[in-house]
Structure 1
Amino acid sequence: MTETEHVPWERRSLAPVLPAVRPRKLAKVPFVELADGRLQGVVSSGSDIERVYVSSIAAGSHGFNCSTNNNRPCGGLRGAPCKHLHALLDEAILQYGVERVVRYLRVALPEGAQTGDDVVRALSGHHEPAPAAVVFSRFLRHLSYLELPAADGPLPELHWFPATGAGR
């Protein structure tokens, strides 16, 4: 083995990427992440094609928030998680698996619980304003990468980006 094979992946410029637990449809929830101490993402509006919601649930406190990309509060957020938060949880479970989502949010699930609705019922939080601009900005940045022409060479701004197969 070479010296670099003994170095943990955290000290390399590549990080392993975990594949989605199950395939997701991106039309309803095009962006979901476990970051900044929250499950957060972008959820498409069911009524207006030009509107999206930035939804989040804080780890530990379970404080939840949902607002439009223009920072207007979600009309369905009336003391309980709205349908956008339910959709976000469902897609996070598809992407990361229920065990990882529950562990990240620090939720105690009853035996046999596996769905986003089960997780919502186990949350103990309340409405808690959260910054939407950062999440929406990251989503837009991810979209910009889709507009790049196909190339097989490295992209300088993505030299830090996780690559599959790292650590083999």
Structure 2
Amino acid sequence: MNAAQTPPWEQRSTARVLSPARPRKLAKVPFVELADGRLQGVVSSGSDIERVYVSSLTAKDYSFHCSTNNNRPCGGIRSGGCNHLRALADEAVLQYGIARVARYLRADVADSATTGGEVLSAVNAWHQPSAGAPVFSRFLRHLAYLELPASTEPLAELQWFPAGGAVR
């Protein structure tokens, strides 16, 4: 296949970024993702500007966890979640749309559902402590990319395969 036949997305070193379903404010929930079989992210504390919470909800069994970035458990954990998890779910709906979030979590939501709280209500969430460090580490990695100068050159750390070599 020559360059004229190659699709444009294969000729670039960048990936297409999906725009958010609706604009969201990053102050309360600066990081949200659907990854590793979980809805997970970082939620700012409402009482302490220097504290953030790492919250997650697993799609497979609906276990959730919420703790500070230094692994202290959230004091607001109840049987169905906490306010941080609800804020995370609401922002995920803004970022990805309710259909995608519900499909990813395998939640059976009503057609009229519009919020992350309704997604959480549709699942039988239960608390199980889990490690928040990997999620927080990914958040910090995303922040590091914001500090890089604008460039169209590829980033060395994202080039996983040697140029011109076959993957074996």
Structure 1 length as normaliser, TM-score? 0.84
Share of identical aligned residues, percent?
64
2:79–2:125: 8 Å Cα contact kept in structure 1?
A: no
Q: Which has the higher contact order (CA 8 A, sep 6+)?
A: 1
Amino acid at match of 1:4: T
Matched, 1:4 2:33: no
Give the CA deviation at 1:152: 4.6
1:60–1:107: 8 Å Cα contact kept in structure 2?
A: no
Give the CA deviation at 1:41: 0.1
**Greater C-alpha radius of gyration:** 2
Q: Which residues of 2 match residues 1-168 of structure 1 at below 5 A?
A: 2-5=4-7, 14-159=14-159
1:55–1:84: 8 Å Cα contact kept in structure 2?
A: yes
2:31–2:41: 8 Å Cα contact kept in structure 1?
A: yes
Give the alignment's Cα RMSD to 1 decimal.
2.2
Aligned residues: 157
Q: Distance in 1 between matches of 2:38 and 2:82?
A: 16
2:34–2:104: 8 Å Cα contact kept in structure 1?
A: yes
Give the CA deviation at 1:78: 2.4
Give the CA deviation at 1:120: 1.5
Structure 2 length as normaliser, TM-score? 0.84
Q: Distance in 2 between matches of 1:150 and 1:16?
A: 17
Gaps of 5+ in 1: 161-168
Q: Distance in 2 between matches of 1:142 and 1:132?
A: 16
2:42–2:55: 8 Å Cα contact kept in structure 1?
A: yes
Gaps of 5+ in 2: 161-168
